[in-house]
Structure 1
Amino acid sequence: MFKPSSYSWCCWCSVPSVKNRPSAVVHHLTYIPYNENKDELIPLNSVQNQGFGTENEPFIVYRNSQLIGKENKHLRFVCMSDTHNEIADVHIPNGDVFIHCGDAVNHRTSSRDIVRFNQFVGQLPHKYKLFVSGNHCVCLNPKQPDRSQKLLNNMIYLQDQLIDIEGVRIYGSPWRPKRGCFYRAEAFGYNPKHIREDKWSKIPQDIDILLTHGPPYSIRDYNVSTKEPLGCPDLLDEIVTRIRPRIHLFGHMHECRGASLYKSEDNRLLEGDEFQNQSNDILFVNLAVHQGKTLGEPTVIDYYY
């Protein structure tokens, strides 16, 4: 629906910014971003989502509304991102699938630290462990995903890859619009003019969960330094007009951690008339654990399918 021409550029450092783009309307479920003026959290619709994303009160998400009230298969997902060498200090609940959406390390020491991260994850009890790279993972060569998989041999490394886990289809992609030559932690930065055609358009439609490192535009992507949203508008367009996953997990923007619910009926400007009938909500979660001097908790999701 929208074109990459919505990007403008800072000529001296090649940093893209977004102009004249409609924002997604979301209902915040946990941790309202401080730049948004909300009096209270939106109550959850118990028909589609409930809980608070914690170990004792996980988010409960159904593949479709017809499964509610029936006995279904389900998997428990334990999800996190942006641990920056402090994963050992985080309480990680047990579950079926462990997910990390990037920036497990710091860019200056990433070659050493990624080995330690892999060793730590290997000790976790989860049956499946998935990893999507982040911009600090400069030791991982985008042109050699097989080599990255060998290095991260205690988990499944996803670089533009689809995986089926016991009937749940999950796609992972590490890319984000690149920010320019002054940023040292810039692994998997991609030309914003081509990121939709080259990367996002390759994401299949019939997936349950999407993993990326960076956020979509206007959803938990506020940048404190620039006072602007930093997410990718082309990623948002693909998600809401074509891919329609039940859950999108990401990180990158530390200050915007938390969960938000996207409803089609509130986003007609983005979607047109295509998805107004029987369209599932989308749960968006910014999983960034590192919060400066404190650490957040992983997000726990029970997915019924």
Structure 2
Amino acid sequence: MRLAVTADLHGFLPDVPPCDVLVIAGDLTPAHDHDVAFQARWLDTTFRAWLQAVPAEHVVAIAGNHDFVFERAPETVPTDLPWTYLQDTGTTIDGVRFWGSPWQPWFFDWAFNAPKGDTDETFLRERFAVVPDDTDVLVVHGPPAGYGDRTSTGMSVGSAAQLDLVRRTAAQLCVFGHIHEGRGDWQLGPTRLINASAVTLKYALVDEPVQLVELSRPD
């Protein structure tokens, strides 16, 4: 299975190479306007047209910490977009099992934050507990601890609960973003970890905002 993966589009809608599944790991909407009515209109117009044109058989996506409309006014998100939106839910495509979750440790006063002061990550562990052990692709917004999680100030802000999730499921792939300057690609046992942020720290589009990944289908 050929996947095209990206994250942190922030309103940029880049060219997508032909693929079986396009995976978007959150922060879809433009960064300059967090108004939920604006975000809902943008999803229904500009984003819809882009989704309809991408050369992907399927699109799987989650929200991110800038996508307030999915948390604060989910009833206004168009229900007929040509994609599969995951929010603590999963889907199976050609035998490959995807699971998506938008939550991350508290990070400023943005969307899909765990409670501030939840140092044991109890909130996140409760949400990740329902992820099936046989998940093939994890689509999450923030990074697991130690992988693409270092900010420009030198702080590591990844989630220990998410790292435990990666180890438990031994998924083939974990796609995330959130920390733009942490963009990169790692291997942790059987799991390929990709911080697929499409923009830089200053919200400029990177040279290759969509990456191709070949994934083996389960027997």
User: TM-score band, normalised by the shorter chain?
Assistant: 0.7 to 0.9
Q: Does 1:132 align with 2:62?
A: yes
Q: What TM-score comes out, normalization by structure 1 length?
A: 0.62
* Equivalent residue for 1:302, pick from 181, 206, 214: 214
Cα deviation for residue 118 of structure 1 reads 2.7
Q: Which residue of 1 aligns with 2:112?
A: 188
Larger Rg, first or second structure (1 or 2): 1
* Equivalent residue for 1:91, pick from 3, 15, 19: 15
Q: Which residue of 1 aligns with 2:196?
A: 287
Cα deviation for residue 143 of structure 1 reads 8.1
- Partners of 1:81 and 1:147 in 2: how far apart? 22
CA displacement 1:167-194 (0-9 Å, x = unmatched): 00111111111234xx3xx111122443
Q: Does 1:177 align with 2:88?
A: no
* Equivalent residue for 2:148, pick from 220, 234, 243: 220
- Partners of 2:78 and 2:90 in 1: how far apart? 14
Point out where structure 2 has 5 or more consecutive residues left out of the alignment: none
- Partners of 1:203 and 1:103 in 2: how far apart? 22
- Is 1:288–1:296's contact at 8 Å kept on the other side of the alignment? no
* Equivalent residue for 1:251, pick from 177, 182, 186: 177
Q: Which residue of 1 aligns with 2:186?
A: 260
For 1:229, what is the secondary structure of its paired residue?
coil
- Is 1:96–1:128's contact at 8 Å kept on the other side of the alignment? yes
Q: Which runs of 4+ in 1 moved over 3 A?
A: 146-149
Amino acid across the alignment from 1:154? P
124 and 213 in structure 1: CA distance in 2 versus 1, 3 angstrom threshold: same
Q: Which residue of 2 aligns with 1:100?
A: 24
* Equivalent residue for 1:117, pick from 35, 47, 67: 47
- Is 2:58–2:83's contact at 8 Å kept on the other side of the alignment? yes
- Partners of 2:68 and 2:166 in 1: how far apart? 27
RMSD: 2.0
Cα deviation for residue 149 of structure 1 reads 6.0
After the TM superposition, which residues 268-287 of structure 1 pair with which residues of structure 2 at under 5 Å, given as runs?
281-287=190-196
Cα deviation for residue 141 of structure 1 reads 2.7
- Is 1:164–1:170's contact at 8 Å kept on the other side of the alignment? yes
194 and 143 in structure 1: CA distance in 2 versus 1, 3 angstrom threshold: farther
For 1:301, what is the secondary structure of its paired residue?
strand
Q: Which is further off, 243-252 or 112-121? A: 112-121
Q: Which residue of 2 aligns with 1:235?
A: 162
What is the percent sequence identity of the aligned residues?
Answer: 25
* Equivalent residue for 2:127, pick from 199, 210, 214: 199
Q: Which is further off, 112-121 or 163-172? A: 112-121
Aligned pair count reads 204
- Is 2:40–2:76's contact at 8 Å kept on the other side of the alignment? no
188 and 149 in structure 1: CA distance in 2 versus 1, 3 angstrom threshold: farther
